Structures are given as C-alpha cells and as structure tokens.
Structure 1
Amino acid sequence: MATDVRIAQAIGTLGCTVAANDQTLTVYQGGIATLSIMSIPNLILPARRPPSATLPFHDTPGTSTTHLTHQWFDLYNRGSRIFPGISAVSSLANLYALWALRDSPTPAPDIFGSSWSTCYLLAVGFTLGIAPFTGIFMQKTNAKLMAHAKRDDAAIAEGTEDMVLSSQEKAKRTREDSEVIELLQHWSQLNLIRAALPLVGAGIGFYAAVSSWIIP
C-alpha cells in the first residue's frame, strides 16, 4: 500500500483518538473525555476531603459558584478552539484514504460492502458528530453555565458591581447559584457521551487501516 494512504490512515485514526481523550494535551486540561473524568470532578471538590470519604464524594465545593462557572467557561473556550480543528483534520485524512482506496476491494464485503465508502464515511460521521451533538443535546446546559459565568460582566464593566440588589434579584441569584453543581455534573455526563463519538470514529478508522494492510 502507498505510503501516503498509510499516513492518512494514521492521521485519521490518531486524530479521532486525540479528540476523544488525549493525555498529551494536559496544558489544555486533556481531551474531551478528560474534562468529564478529571477536570469537572476536581473543580467541584470541597475545600478538604475527609480521609474516610469514598468516591464518589459530594459536598460543598471549596470555591464559589461564580468561580466554578468561570473555570468551566475557560475550559469550554479552550476546547472549542482545539478539538473541532483536530476532528476536521482527522476527517479530511479519512476522506483522503477513502479516495485513495476507491478502486481497492474490501477484505470484508459482508461488512463494508463493495467499497470503502461505508467504513470511512462512518468514521467521518462519528468524528464530526461532536458538533451536532453539542448543538442538539448540550446547548441548553451550555447556555445556563455561560450566563452564570458572565452574569456580573456588565456590572463590573460599568463599575456597578457593588450596588445594592433588590430582594427579588437576590432570590434569583441564589436560585441560579444552587443550580450550578447540578448543571456541571449534567454537562460532564453529556460531554462523556460526546467524547465517545470520535472514539468510535477512531475504532472504525483503525479497523479500516488494519483491514487495508492485508489486501493482497
């Protein structure tokens, strides 16, 4: 098999894996799955966990809810700048592999059919699926967390953050604060599902790569 095809297959598979869960990007809090597995659970830890506590451990976070959503918002912004690009590059690599193998027989026609299209298009579909999944299933949770994170931005910009709030506004802010932990946990669960999409794409791409190597 041509070297360019193998390179494309490697980029396609590794790119999907990086998007799903990459330990080499620790400066950006890891990959998509790492946000749910490590970042969010650590953000909502109490100030000090009792030695006798067992996981999962739930208690009052050691930081304010405003700071929590600010940290989440930073993670969200960093991820939104990194992972879509990685997914796009891996998808382009998979599409190139599909084009390069367009005239090659598949080793498992009962699975792929008579061409590689089904396999590679599935890999691309799962990988790029993080975008519609975010828009359809996570938009409402994202909007609430963003609104909380930016709640005081306008007042700070105008220098009115120290103004006395009405009782209605205080009650509203208290209600919003009480929802933050549940919103973060719900976001974490949805994000873990989202992380599975490029991981499935990586599995399909890996299977395609191994299968193509055994073609006579």
Structure 2
Amino acid sequence: MRLRNKPWAKEMIENHPQYIVANPENYKGQWHEVFQNKQPLHIEVGTGKGRFVTEMAKAHPDINYIGIELYDSVIVAALDRLIEADLPNLRLLNVNASELNKYFEKNDVDRVYLNFSDPWPKTRHEKRRLTYKDFLKLYENILVDKGEIHFKTDNQGLFEYSLKSFSEYGLLLTFLSLDLHKSDYEGNIMTEYEQKFSEAGNRIYRCEVKYQN
C-alpha cells in the first residue's frame, strides 16, 4: 500500500488524546479506566480509515472498541470519523501490532478483528502476516480464555494460508464463508476495502476461530 505523506498528521494525533490514547502502555490491564466501565473489549488490528470499527461501536454500545493502526497518515482518517461520531465506547491506538503485549495483558481483550490485512504474498515475508503463528501467540497472550479472532479478506491465498495457520495452532473454526456477500450471514459491516473489492466483483472470505484454552 502506497501511503500519501501528511506532514500535519502527527500534530493532529497529538492534539486529540481523548480519541487516540497517548501512552497506552499506562493502561495495560486497566482499560476500564479509559472507558469508565467494564464492558467487553474488542480490538481491530489494522483499522485503516476506521469505517468498520466506528460502525461496530455505533451498533454495539455495550461493547468497547479499540482500533489499532500504525500509520499516522491513515489513522487520521479514522480520527476524523471518531471526532464526528464522538463515541464513548471507541478509542484508537497509533502503535505497531507486533507490540500488542506492551499495551494489553492476558484477559484484557475479548475479540480480535483482522480485516483485509496485507497478504504479504512472498514467502520470505510470511512472518509479517497477521495470521502467522507468532501473531496468533501474541493474540492469545492478551485475549480472555476461549477468545475469538474474526477474519475477513478478499485474498484467497491469504485466506487459505490463514485457515492452515489457525488449524496448526489448534484454534477451533466456528464460522466459515467462502463468499460472504452471497451468504445468509447477518450483521456484516463493511470496511472501505471490502466495499471497493466487492464492487469490483471480488469474493469476500470470512471465518471465525476460537482459542480452546
């Protein structure tokens, strides 16, 4: 993904700590202090421009959400959405997903969403895929027992790889769709990429898996 440089993005992020949490490591194990409640917490790893996580937070006010995005120039679009919506159950983190254990501890998170992650198709980049075994271990270390991962992509290769990775790790497959938009699945909220890919005629793959410990 080629990113357009936005030199003003960093300042915008710093000016809105009520939406993009500054020093998130201070809330490890204490995220209820940020939301002022003890509702379940769902995170989206790679939240992009924030459409999915914002609409999920609107639809489910009884759940807290955190959208995680590394790139300043991308997360400011999600910030714009959040400023407009001003949702009490949604916050953003401008951090690297490979360091989630710095910001969350075991039992902090109830569900992880992975939506249209970079497929990193070259074999030498396998470790960068968000469904690689090291990431699955990372999620396990912050999720509650029997916590869930919900995964969507239009990339068949990545989907097949991820199903294999989930299985080898010992995750339990609880939902599978090989063509989500032609299924009877209810409650789907599309990401920006999902709408673009679907309108181009791409099939959308989706699955849900659960840790068994």
User: Which category of TM-score, normalised to the shorter sequence, fits these structures?
Assistant: under 0.3
**TM-score (norm: length of structure 2):** 0.22
**TM-score (norm: length of structure 1):** 0.21
If each structure's helix is expressed as a fraction of its own residues, which one has the higher value? 1
Greater relative contact order structure (CA < 8 Å, 6+ sep): 1
If each structure's strand is expressed as a fraction of its own residues, which one has the higher value? 2
Rg (Cα) greater in structure: 1
